[in-house]
Amino acid sequence: MDMNDYNGLLISGDFETDMERFTKIFKKDDMLRKRVVNLGDSNVKIGFIFFDGMVENSNIDDSLIRPCIKAKDVPNNADIDYVLKNVLYSSEISKTNKVSELLTAVLNGDTAVILDNSIYALSVDTKGWRTRGIDEPSDERVLQGPREGFDEAAIPNLAMIRRKLQTPDLCIESQKVGKRTKTAVYICYLGEVVNKDCLNEIKKRISKIDIDGILDSNYIAEYIREGRFSLFKTNGTTERPDIVAARLLEGRVAVVVDGTPVVLTFPYLFCENFQTDEDYYLNYYVGSVGRILRYFCFFAGISIPAIFIALTTFHFQLLPTQFMITISELRSGVPFSSVAECLVLIFVFEILRETGLRTPQSLGPALSIVGGLVIGDAAVTARIVSAPMLIAVSFSGVAGLMIPRLKGAVFYFRIFFVLAASIMGLYGYMVAITLSALVVMNTKTFGGDYTFSLKNPTFARMKDVFIRAPWFKMRTRPHISKNRIRSRNDKW
């Protein structure tokens, strides 16, 4: 049965009936726990219903059961308001007469309190399931900077964000998504900074999601993101509270989903693919060098195999004679064409990369390195592939690892560029570059331009794109913010 089947059903007031109702609803769930005691020295019965493993048992004992048993001078006509005001110690208690609300509370880790001869019941906050605890995200490690990361519980994650932004302007709104999972989704923003149009659009799209369950933030992302079929990310993802706080300060919206450590941020710009956390925690000269290298590696990752094929197949006259003779000698005896050889190597590199990610942590790096060396050396020795092509594809693959947020786009564009170069040489490569630029320039992110900074470049717009300007020069927020002024200090 679905939760909607209990809408409109009210607490009956008959103690045995109300307690038995939960037993029937969860008759195939052995994790349900019930406890019935007398309220103090009276004959009034009071029952507690909760799920084992979802609650903090000591909290139930100390805040609910013990106060009820030790209550003194309890009148025999004690009602639910008397229990609420004079007996229970818990700080968060809700009163309801609806069975559906009580069911939702119990499923979320609360305890239902049912009183004899009362048409109202209480839901008491007793959540206490285990979490991983605060740890640094393995995919977003930094040499210098905060080390804490989100875990799977949304409330502690929101607390970490609020600790970073100690202002009443921080707004956190919640929705329930998923007909069966009823997953809590929290929308976070700074009221005086956020772009209201973007915020309203995000709320509207989330409210329209119709699915039976939400188990990860990517479910939300695929439903609400701009350019659903685009190879480029149009929503940010992070497991670090400092990054979420920084995005909120720029006027963005964060979406926190209960059950996953990955937080979504909207809107998302193309230049963010090349930014890292550490850019802002190191000297701006060092951060700028790293960012320029990432742009270069993106270009190299998608271009090197295609340029190599174009030069060695169509435009060999552009290469030094001795270099071309060396390549020809090394390719002698290879049974495949340059294009087939390149595509095979690209897929082999992806296989090795995925193998390193999916195998146990203790074996992954060793397997990928040894596998690459052994397979590469054996393939060149057996004349299955040529050494120059292996070098070109390997360098391209390593360069692509510098920008993990674009790993999917780099893979597809690398193949597209290779095919274009194999048909028309450098002309095909230039056509591929042009088409790719058009795709990027026409991508939208919640009503804004994906590459807004590049369309009308000024220092104010470019100060955090190709380089990282010093903080005392970044006085304004990005264009996506309603309040553009970040700082009024220009000089020491």
Please write the tens of the pLDDT for every residue from 209-231. 989 889 988 999 888 887 777 88
172 and 263 in a single domain? The answer is: yes
430 with 380, same domain: the answer is yes
> 236-238 and 263-266: which strand pairing?
antiparallel
263 and 294 together in one domain = no
Q: How confident is the model at residue 492 (pLDDT cuts 50, 70, 90)?
A: very low
Q: Is the pLDDT of residue 81 over 70?
A: yes
**Predicted structure pTM score:** 0.81
**Among 383, 359, 382, 384, CA closest to 371:** 359
What confidence score (pLDDT) does residue 363 get? Answer: 60
Query: pLDDT tens for residues 83-102?
Result: 888 888 887 888 888 888 88
Same domain, 83 and 193: no
Residue 154 near residue 258, CB atoms below 8 Å: yes
Q: Do 264 and 295 belong to one domain?
A: no
Domain assignment of residue 98, yes or no: yes
Residue found by looking up tokens 């607490």 in the block: 11
Query: For all residues of the chain together, what is the average pLDDT?
Result: 83
pLDDT digits (tens, 9 = 90+) for 315-349: 888 888 887 888 887 777 778 788 888 898 888 88
Residue 279's pLDDT is what? 79
Domain limits at 217?
154-268
Smallest CA-to-CA distance from 262 within 229, 242, 236 is with 236
Better pLDDT: 278 or 241: 241
What is the structure's pLDDT at 490? 55
The domain total for the chain is 3
For residue 323, give the 3-state DSSP assignment: helix
Query: What pLDDT, on the 0 to 100 scale, is given for residue 187?
Result: 92
Q: Are 422 and 338 in contact (CB under 8 A)?
A: yes
Whether the per-residue pLDDT at 170 is higher than 70: the answer is yes
The reply to whether 469 falls in a domain is: no
Q: What is the pLDDT of residues 26-36, one digit of tens each?
A: 888 888 888 89
Share of the chain above pLDDT 90, in %: 13
Same domain, 223 and 339: no
Structure confidence at residue 73 (pLDDT):
82
pLDDT > 70 in the chain, percent: 89
Q: Do both 352 and 301 map to the same domain?
A: yes
Tell me, yes or no, whether 373 and 440 share the same domain: yes
On whether residue 391 sits in a domain, the answer given is yes
Domain contains 474: no
| Minimum mean pLDDT range among 19-28, 150-159, 169-178, 361-370 | 361-370
Q: Which of 297-306, 357-366, 437-446, 457-466 has the highest mean pLDDT?
A: 297-306
Give the lowest-confidence range in 76-80, 245-249, 372-376, 447-451: 372-376
Domain check: are 36 and 169 in the same one?
A: no
Residue 45 lies in a domain: yes
Compute the distance between CA of residue 12 and CA of residue 319 in angstroms, rounded to an integer: 88
Beta-sheet strands, E only, within 12-144 = 32-38, 45-51, 93-96, 111-115, 121-124
186 pLDDT tier (thresholds 50, 70, 90): very high
- Residue 489: its pLDDT value, please? 62
Strands, sheet with 93-96, edge to edge from the N-terminal-most edge strand: 32-38, 45-51, 111-115, 121-124, 93-96
Q: Do 289 and 259 reside in the same domain of the chain?
A: no
Say if residue 93 is in the same domain as residue 160.
no
pLDDT for 228-273, tens place per residue? 778 888 888 898 898 999 889 888 899 999 888 999 998 888 888 8
Q: Is residue 489 part of a domain?
A: no
Whether the per-residue pLDDT at 145 is higher than 80: the answer is no
Residue at which a domain ends, from 268, 293, 321? 268
The SS3 of residue 386 is coil
Give the largest Cα separation in the chain, rounded.
104
Residues 259 and 338 placed together within one structural domain of the fold: no
How many other C-beta atoms lie within 10 A of the C-beta of residue 418?
Answer: 29
Q: For residue 23, tell me if it sits in a domain.
A: yes
H-helix segments, 50-111? 57-60, 66-70, 80-86, 99-107
Report whether pLDDT(106) > 80.
Answer: yes
Q: What is the DSSP letter of 62?
A: I
Q: Is residue 211 part of a domain?
A: yes
Q: Can you tell me the distance from the alpha carbon of 9 to that of 484, in angstroms, rounded to the nearest whole number?
A: 51
